[in-house]
Amino acid sequence: MESEMIVESVVSLPEQERVDSQEERLDRRERLQRMGDDEQKRGQRFFGTLMGTLGKFQKESVFLQEKNAKRAEIEARLAECMRKEKEEVEERVRIEKDEKQRAAERIRKASLREFEKLSLETYYKNKIASARALKTTTLPVLFYQPWKLSSKEEERAKFRVEELERKYQQELKELEERLSCEDSVYIKEVDVSMSTQETCEINVDTG
């Protein structure tokens, strides 16, 4: 009886080992399965974190690009405003300079006109004054005013004075005509210059 029990125990031992080994394999498979699931979940979490980081980086990159684009646009507008302001200042300075030059030219011409008239008047005044005087026939020629002129000398003096006055009026008229002609030419030159400047300004504005 005892021998039979021993045999049964010996026989049943390998079966128990097989059962244990099967359970171990099942446990190991389950552990591997759980590890695989954990690794998969960990990978998914890592991928999600990575995608979130990339998305955040992309948003920041787009934000920086838009910010830089706006800054560049503002800087371009400021540069354009500064350029236009500089051109306007330069144009005002040029116009003021031209106006000063034209004013100085008008003053110079007016002064020259008065000087020529005064010179002509002074010349003929001296000639008329000397026309009433007598001159010597010897050298050097001297002019003198006698206490009283004879009727013949008075007639000659009157003729010389009238002739000088006629010449003075004639030369004064010619001088006035010449100065008037010069004024007309100057005004035309100024008009052409101003119209040319306006045309250039229009071309710059439309360009």
Are 167 and 125 contacting, i.e. CB atoms less than 8 angstroms apart?
no
**Predicted confidence band of residue 189 (pLDDT cuts 50, 70, 90):** low
Task: Pick 154 or 186 by higher pLDDT.
Answer: 154
At residue 2, the pLDDT reads 43
Helix extents (H) in the chain: 2-131, 151-206
Q: Which sign, positive or negative, has the C-alpha torsion 169, 171, 172, 174?
A: positive
Q: Is the pLDDT of residue 9 over 80?
A: no
Average model confidence (pLDDT) for the chain? 77
Are 161 and 132 contacting, i.e. CB atoms less than 8 angstroms apart?
yes
Are 136 and 144 contacting, i.e. CB atoms less than 8 angstroms apart?
yes
Q: Is the pLDDT of residue 17 over 50?
A: yes
